[in-house]
Chains A and B, each alone.
Chain A
Amino acid sequence: MDLDQIRFATRHFNDLQGLRYAVPLGLVTLVLGGVLHFASWPTFLLIPAAAAALLLAFTAGRHYRRVYGEVQAEPAYPMEELHGLSIYHPAGATPRLAGFQQITPRARHFLALLLLTAGLCWVLQLMSRNVLVAGSETAGQHPRIQSAAPPEYDPYLGWLSAFNGIYKPPGTVRAIYGQMAYAICGAFFLGLWLWRERRPSQRHHLALGLLLLGLSVLGTSLGLVAREDGEMSPVINFLSPALVYPGVALLLCGAALTLAGLYDHRQLARALGGSAVEKLS
């Protein structure tokens, strides 16, 4: 391990603890997706799943402390910067900045990307026509997606047709929940990749982020490709359960979180298992 890897593993020691954060979150998301997708999965399954995830997070935290030790990360903003501010500063006195200090760079990356994705999806929703989604997720039916005929307005209210995309039929609203899950999860992965210095070893986050954001954008723009007779291209037809069923979306997001967590854990175990000094000397 070289010095750059030592610096990286130390700086990201806490967020590389995949078994403590990403895997429990992924397992809960998987069970939530399963409850929505499979009719045979009862809702109360979420309670033991959440309990198991909490137990895993607690046990993994203890395991990491016992096997790899503890690292206190650098503060998000150096204290000197905050101390330099006086009560006369336009930003306000130091105590008023306490909340500002808690917004970590990781959270800022995530929020910025989420806002961008939400904005893009909103524009696509406005631009595209409404779609009708037929088929039941819990019954295991393949969804049939049709373009909805635009509503007819009184001649004096014709200008409302420009805002067709705002009004969604109930079936489409469920699809939007799934697309939101992709957007949140995709922005999280992409934010994590930026936070981890865009290193080649973190490319799995970039890949997962792009994949999930791509599904979000594709799902949102279904109105642009859907036809009134329900015919779709084979690729979109194959992907359609993932695009319109929130259960499938949560299953995919949960699987992505679990895989990313396991990979992070593997990277941490590798980084802290070698002998750095021997390789340096």
Chain B
Amino acid sequence: MSNTPFEQLANLDRRVHDPARLAILTALSACERADFLFLQRITGLTKGNLSSHLSKLEEAGLVEIEKRFVQKKTQTLVRLTDPGRGAVDGYWKSLEEIRESASQWSPAAASLVPSAG
């Protein structure tokens, strides 16, 4: 457990904390699964950017990607895995803890102010 909000911030899950990946994971956490086009429209990312972020999330085991053919076209479906759902929940929980500890934090309490004498 980190002591200061700064340390807690530094320990945030980097896989989730990136704005683009956070937007993707937030959208996926609100549905069973979504296709590539929808994720592109809701996040406003370019195809290449979204593809790169999805690959990283898939490597980390946070999302599952399934490709299928619909009327001779490839459709890419993405869903959040159970660890992915846990990571998103954990991320928000951590942020809430940081918010709470930041409201209580003061330099004196953290012994950052050198004592006189």
Chain A positions 61 through 91: 1 when the CB is less than 8 Å from some CB of chain B, otherwise 0: 0000001111111110000000000000000
B32 touching A7, Cβ below 8 Å = no
Q: Which of B57-102 contact A (CB under 8 A)?
A: 75, 77
B32: which A residues are within 8 A, CB to CB? Answer: 72-75
Give the size range of B's interface with the partner: 20 to 34
Give the size range of A's interface with the partner: 20 to 34
B27 touching A10, Cβ below 8 Å = yes
B41 touching A69, Cβ below 8 Å = yes
* Bound: A154/B77 CA distance, A: 74
Interface status of B9 (Cβ within 8 A of chain A): no
Q: With A69-B34, A72-B33 known to touch, is A9 a contact of B42 (CB < 8 Å)? A: yes
Interface status of A233 (Cβ within 8 A of chain B): no
* Bound: A276/B35 CA distance, A: 17
A70 touching B34, Cβ below 8 Å = yes
Q: With A69-B35, A75-B32, A272-B41 known to touch, is A6 a contact of B19 (CB < 8 Å)? A: no
Q: Which residue of A lies closest to B18 (CB)?
A: A281
* Bound: A67/B42 CA distance, A: 12
B23 touching A277, Cβ below 8 Å = yes
Chain A positions 1 through 23: 1 when the CB is less than 8 Å from some CB of chain B, otherwise 0: 10100111111010000000000
A10 touching B41, Cβ below 8 Å = no
Q: With A6-B42, A69-B37 known to touch, is A277 a contact of B20 (CB < 8 Å)? A: yes
Give the shortest distance, in Å, between A201 (CB) and chain B (any CB).
16
Q: Which 10 A-B pairs have the closest CB atoms?
A: A275-B44, A69-B38, A69-B37, A280-B19, A10-B30, A281-B19, A272-B41, A72-B32, A11-B30, A7-B30
27 interchain pairs, CB-CB under 8 A: A3-B23, A3-B26, A6-B23, A6-B27, A7-B26, A8-B30, A10-B30, A10-B31, A10-B34, A10-B38, A68-B41, A69-B36, A70-B37, A71-B31, A71-B34, A74-B31, A272-B41, A272-B42, A273-B41, A275-B45, A276-B23, A276-B42, A276-B44, A277-B19, A278-B44, A280-B20, A281-B19
